[in-house]
């Protein structure tokens, strides 16, 4: 738990629309002994979960296995294709969250279907290998394999090679940011846009750099963050030799990165690192849209009817739609 200013913690700062879920959402308390149990618990379907097909019926989903990066294993992706579209479409390579140690591509099916429906874009969601079983740069290499596959097979997919964006939430946002850096440095596949939703960018947060006193009490804590980064890096986070292909905040220069959307809650552990990254992009002359939502903790958008969640989706999907179709 982060060090908080005062005995009341930060609960009084939480937006009332998203506060009740904190009473039923158990702390993750990630560690070597608990990781498998947390994974098993998250794999159990929620009894009242909505049907993605019923919510967004005009999207076709196809599971594919694509070649891995260099000699890496093949990568599973979920390909979401809007049925009503004008080819060639834009494309979004989407990367799920989970602190680098949790989750699958399947958890974001509703979101991917929504993006495909509301923007008309093809969405390819990456089921990358997880840490600690796979260390960096294996995770971003899986994502790069998906990006390169979309680019190389754009004709067959009905995709416009000049409108391929990358995006993700939490650790997925961190991977999307490192993917954009890797693509820039390799010079093989152009990335037109990056959509970073409360991205996990800096291994120093909560390790060698303390979190600010009003961040990280809920959902994703400094202790979880240290475990996630240590699992990815294979060593304690915060050292001097961390690659920008693991932690995007470590990149020496952001020059040449694509236009960017970043959003984060003000109570999120990642608030300061996300604002700092947006500032760097803006100072480098990169078109950047930044939203900081007051009263929002990490993954606040799990509460679909909250007004802050509605604002979030209006902003992020609107930004994608303007980029793809503006």
The residues annotated as belonging to the active site are: 170, 268, 298
Q: How far apart are CA 289 and CA 135, in angstroms?
A: 31
What one-character-per-residue DSSP string does 7-31 give? TTTTGGGS-TTTSGGGGTS-----S
Radius of gyration of the chain (CA): 18
The β-bridge relationship of strands 260-265 and 159-169 is: unpaired
Q: How far apart are CA 310 and CA 318, in angstroms?
A: 12
Q: How far is CA 232 from CA 28, 229, 238, 282, 297, in A?
A: 17, 5, 12, 28, 23
Q: How far apart are CA 69 and CA 183, in angstroms?
A: 13
């Amino acid at each position: 738990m982060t060090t908080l200013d005062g005995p009341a913690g930060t609960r009084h700062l939480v937006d009332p629309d998203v506060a009740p879920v904190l009473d039923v959402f158990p702390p993750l308390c990630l560690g070597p002994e608990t990781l498998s149990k947390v994974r098993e618990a998250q794999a159990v379907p929620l009894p009242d979960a909505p049907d993605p097909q019923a919510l967004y019926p005009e999207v076709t989903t196809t599971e594919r296995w694509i070649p891995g990066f260099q000699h890496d294993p093949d990568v599973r992706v979920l390909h979401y294709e809007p049925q009503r579209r004008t080819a060639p479409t834009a494309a979004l390579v989407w990367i799920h969250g989970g602190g680098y140690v949790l989750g699958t591509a399947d958890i974001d099916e509703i979101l991917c279907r929504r993006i495909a429906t509301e923007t008309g874009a093809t969405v390819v969601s990456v089921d990358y290998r997880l840490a600690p079983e796979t260390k960096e740069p294996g995770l971003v290499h899986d994502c790069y394999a998906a990006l390169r596959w979309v680019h190389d097979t754009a004709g067959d997919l009905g995709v416009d090679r000049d409108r391929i964006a990358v995006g993700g939430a939490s650790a997925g946002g961190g991977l999307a940011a490192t993917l954009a850096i890797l693509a820039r440095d390799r010079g093989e596949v152009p990335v037109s846009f990056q959509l970073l939703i409360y991205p996990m960018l800096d291994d120093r947060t909560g390790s060698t750099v303390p979190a600010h006193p009003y961040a990280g009490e809920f959902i994703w804590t400094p202790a979880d963050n240290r475990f996630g980064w240590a699992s990815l890096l294979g060593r304690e986070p915060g050292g001097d030799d961390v690659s920008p292909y693991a932690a995007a905040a470590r990149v020496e220069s952001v020059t040449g990165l694509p236009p960017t959307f970043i959003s984060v809650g003000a109570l999120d552990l990642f608030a300061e690192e996300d604002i700092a990254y947006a500032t760097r992009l803006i100072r480098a002359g990169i078109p950047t849209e930044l939203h900081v939502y007051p009263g929002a903790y990490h993954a606040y958008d799990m509460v679909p009817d909250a007004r802050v969640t509605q604002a979030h989706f209006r902003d992020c999907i609107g930004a994608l739609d303007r980029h793809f179709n503006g």
